[in-house]
Amino acid sequence: MSVPAIDITCDRCDYSGSTGVNFGIFKYQTPFGRISLPRTLGWCHSCESVSPIEDTDQVVRLKSLKDDVAELESSLAEEIANEKKSRPFFARLFSNDQPDNEAISTLRVSLANLSQELVFPSVLATYFLSIGDSHCLACGSSDVFRFPRMPTGLDDFYSEMHEALLQKPS
């Protein structure tokens, strides 16, 4: 398995490198379980390197939470299907009872809570309304610079040219 890498060159400090540091699992622990932490790539002055930086954009956070809800729905459907398969044949054939076990109950509660938070944030209000600075997800420092978002497919277009995409004004 390969990890996508991003080539980075700085025209101010002559830093040049390649990183896949933004890939991985980043989660917040909440009373409703773990939710994904949106992140972007940036420079951490404390680490003195390229690091994953917390993305505080509200639209990005909302999309991330919606993705988590969709993942929970999928996990719940899969768990219900597995529980149905584990029942004896005649029990499946003649029973209309919905499968239930601890995992299914936990998934249902988490799904209900996160769905409610999407409509009326209360517990996760600070998550959505985070106005504070982004933090480095490697060391926790807020002394970071978030790299600008680049349009998708930009690397493909410029890969043969190897020229700077943003030029300093003359």
The dihedrals phi and psi of 42, each to the nearest 5 degrees, come to -160, -175
Q: Are 87 and 95 within 8 A, CB to CB? A: yes
CA–CA dist 88, 22 (Å, integer): 46
CA–CA dist 137, 19 (Å, integer): 15
Residue pLDDT, tens place only, 76-106: 999 988 888 877 776 666 666 777 788 888 9
H/E element, 158: helix 154-158
Domain boundaries defined on the chain: 1-56+133-170, 57-131
CA–CA dist 145, 122 (Å, integer): 30
How crowded is residue 122: how many other Cβ atoms within 10 Å of its Cβ?
7
Rounded mean pLDDT, 31-36: 85
pLDDT for the residue numbered 66: 93
pLDDT for the residue numbered 155: 53
pLDDT for the residue numbered 108: 92
Residue pLDDT, tens place only, 119-166: 888 888 888 776 678 888 888 899 998 887 765 555 554 455 544 544
Kindly report the pTM of this predicted structure: 0.67
The dihedrals phi and psi of 26, each to the nearest 5 degrees, come to -125, 120
Half-sphere CA count of 169, side-chain side, radius 13 A: 0
Indicate whether 73 pLDDT > 90. yes
pLDDT for the residue numbered 41: 84
